[in-house]
Amino acid sequence: MISVLIFGAVIGGIWALVASGFSLIFGVMRILNFGHGAIFVASAYMAIFVSKICYPLSLPSALLVGVLFGLMFYTITKPVRENEVAVIIVTLATALLIQQILLSIFGDRGLTMQPLLRGVVNLFGVRFTVMRIFSIVIALTVLIALEVMMRTRFGKKIEAVSEDFESAMLVGINVERVYIFVMVLSSILASLAGYFYVQIFSVNPELSLRALIYAFAIVILGGLGSVRGSILASFIIGYIVALTITLLGSRWSEFVMLLTIILTLIVKPSGIFGVEE
């Protein structure tokens, strides 16, 4: 059980970072960024590449990828923001282009990165790598910081834009500035998740599509636009995956995860924290 608790928290923490950013974009901008998974993977590859040259710069470089890609996706979606289908096509096509670029540069082999922290810890007779424990701590810290930020004055502006952007503009809120901030912040969250993921698991270019599916499924389960719901759903999925791997093996993990999401949505179509419209 200790092993399931720790492993589930690792998986849940990483996907909570990815899904919270994905949910934040939809909650504020009302668009689905299907390039979110590509940011996650591209940041992981950047961290691998830079770590071989100058390890201390691996994290800043991964986060820089998030910032640049956030600005890029903001730029390419701005002209078509009112057309939901066009946004999906543009972001998905860009994600596939990024995936092909990564394939041509790194190939399709799974790659990992030397962990930031080495060693193991013993918890109740079960051994875990220090990096897994550290990733849980960082993920929880970032998620708490995100919650605290939403309670600040700027966070209230974000909330106002998410509720009614026209009214927000009338009271003097710079909506476009909020949109840029949200897009960049969500991309940074995905980049941070990719940075920790590649130090625990292996990555390949095809993971970008899987990451997108995971994030989208988690956001739907938590309730579209609900960051808290996405975070809770991420940890639920994390523990389901960890328990499934322990009892049935890794090949059953995605099947059980997706089956759980489908059954939950049949019972509550709006998701855990979603609101019926």
Tell me: the pLDDT tens digits for 43-96?
999 999 999 999 999 999 999 999 999 999 999 999 998 898 999 999 999 999
CB 38 within 8 A of CB 228: no
Quick check: 117 pLDDT over 50? yes
The pTM of the full predicted model, rounded to 2 decimals, is: 0.90
Torsion from C-alpha of 201, 137, 139, 119, nearest 10 degrees: -20
pLDDT at position 119 is 83
The CATH architecture to which 2-267 belongs is Orthogonal Bundle (1.10)
pLDDT at position 190 is 95
Please write the tens of the pLDDT for every residue from 6-52: 888 888 999 999 999 998 998 898 888 999 999 999 999 999 999 99
Q: How do the domains of the chain map onto residue ranges?
A: 2-267
Please write the tens of the pLDDT for every residue from 124-175: 777 778 888 899 999 999 999 998 998 898 889 998 998 888 888 888 889 9
pLDDT at position 277 is 45
Quick check: 197 pLDDT over 70? yes
How confident is residue 189, by pLDDT bands cut at 50, 70 and 90? very high
Q: What are the two backbone dihedrals, phi and then psi, of residue 250, each rounded to the nearest 5 degrees?
A: -65, -30
Of 161, 159, 160, nearest to 146 by C-alpha is: 159
Q: Is 265 exposed, middle or buried (0-12, 13-18, 19+ CB in 10 A)?
A: middle
pLDDT at position 142 is 93
DSSP conformation letters of 190-213: HHHHHHHHTTTS-B-TTHHHHHHH
DSSP conformation letters of 27-66: HHH----TTHHHHHHHHHHHHHHHHTT-GGGHHHHHHHHH
pLDDT at position 73 is 96
Alpha helix positions (H), 79-149: 84-106, 130-149
pLDDT at position 274 is 60
In whole angstroms, how far apart are CA 88 and each of 45, 63, 127, 242? 24, 24, 43, 31
Please write the tens of the pLDDT for every residue from 222-273: 877 778 888 888 998 888 888 888 888 878 877 887 788 788 778 877 777 6
pLDDT at position 191 is 96
